Amino acid sequence: MKGVFIVFEGIDGCGKSTQLRALSKRLQAYGIEPLVIREPGGTPVGEQIREILLERPLEMEPLTELLLYEASRSELTRTVLRPALQAGQVVLADRFAMASLAYQGYGRGLDLTLVRHFNTIATEGIEPSMTIILDVPVEVALARKRSAFDRLERAGLEFHERVRRGYRELAQQTPGSLLLDGTRPASELAEQIWKAVESLL
């Protein structure tokens, strides 16, 4: 792959979307127009799956939930992500495969080997050039939410504590991961992220 693939991860309310936008603007100022994608979503099929997963008050089995995320990821990888990276673009993603390990693995209790297996199928083995994980206490993250909570955000404190622990452990296990204190001022975080990305580019 000729492109650069940077993924932002963390529990809901950690500030990843804010930092992704800040990095996107910084890249644009340097003449780089990044492609911004999100999970689930990013394609017509993926956006329909996103509505099922997050917006509708549906109960579902953890494995069903995982497979829906992987279906969205597969469509995104094949129709958007891989072509962009092959063309040499910089791609910024609001979540990717690590999210399923954190949410469906650590959070829902699915076997991590199983989740990794489906991740590999859905992503065709594509790995991020860098994964930026913003870590904040669950209470802080949930307090930041101003809009209505989606289906995952309503899962409860214990669920989100497991997801946070998952992200912290995955950061230690995953090459190219950068675990940052998401409670620091947004401007300081943006500078720290830019320095890491600048060296990568």
Tally of CB atoms within 10 A around 80 = 16
Residue 135 has a pLDDT of 98
Place of tokens 């992987």: 70
d(CA 184, CA 201): 24
- Is residue 179 within 8 A of residue 10, CB to CB? The reply is no
Residue 150 has a pLDDT of 64
CATH code for the domain in which residue 91 is found: 3.40.50.300
Q: Structurally, how many domains does the chain consist of?
A: 1
Helices (H) and strands (E) in the chain, counts: 9, 5
Alpha carbon distances (Å) from 2 to 50, 88, 90, 129, 200: 29, 5, 9, 11, 13
d(CA 153, CA 18): 18
Residue 100 CB contacts under 8 Å (≥ 6 apart), including other chains: 66, 69, 70, 73, 115, 118, 119
Residue 146 has a pLDDT of 60
- The single-letter DSSP state of residue 129 is S
Residue 84 CB contacts under 8 Å (≥ 6 apart), including other chains: 3, 35, 91
Residue 153 CB contacts under 8 Å (≥ 6 apart), including other chains: 12, 13, 142, 145
Alpha carbon distances (Å) from 59 to 70, 71, 110, 114, 152: 18, 18, 16, 21, 11
- Is residue 129 within 8 A of residue 105, CB to CB? The reply is no
Residue 149 has a pLDDT of 60
d(CA 109, CA 107): 6
Q: Print pLDDT tens along the chain (201 aa).
A: 799 999 999 999 999 999 999 999 999 999 999 999 999 999 999 999 999 998 887 889 999 999 999 999 999 999 999 999 999 999 999 999 999 999 999 999 999 999 999 999 999 999 999 999 999 999 998 888 765 566 676 778 899 999 999 999 999 999 999 999 999 999 999 999 999 999 999
The whole domain housing 114 covers: 4-200
Ranges of beta strands (E only) in 70-200 are 90-94, 130-135, 177-181
